[in-house]
Amino acid sequence: MNRTPHPPPDNAANSEAINRVLQAEQDAQQAVARCERQAQELLHGAQMQVQRIHQRADERITWMEMRCAQWLSEQSRQLALADSTQTEAGGGVHEAALSGLVEALAARLTTGDEGAS
């Protein structure tokens, strides 16, 4: 078997190739670190937005509960006034009035209809 002699390795070329590979690896690690920082920033921003949405929802729920409580209190007061007027006139509480109040409350709670009365 005849072997052709290989030229001796060029140490300078090998060193340069190794340095390019090491530099590419370092560049890739830096790119990964930048991506991780960007992902953390995006995650933090999303978490802050979720917190703001949750706070606004809580405020709206509290406001709706307060408004419904006020409305129910007013309706109850008006019903009691009507009941006392009817009692003085010899009548009792009308089932239709009570049923209407319950239906109006249900509509208000399910649709948010401010005009229900």
> So what's the pLDDT on residue 66?
93
**Please, what's the largest Cα pairwise distance for the chain?**
130
- The residue among 10 and 34 whose pLDDT is bigger is 34
**How far from 6 is each of 3, 13, 30, CA to CA, in Å?**
9, 16, 39
pTM for the model stands at: 0.51
Phi and psi of 28, rounded to 5°? -65, -40
Q: Where are the domains of the chain?
A: 12-111
Mean pLDDT of 23-27: 97
Residues with Cβ < 8 Å from 64, sequence gap 6 or more?
Answer: 112
Q: What is the pLDDT of residues 61-114, one digit of tens each?
A: 999 999 988 988 888 888 888 777 766 555 555 667 777 777 887 887 778 665
pLDDT of the residue at 116: 44
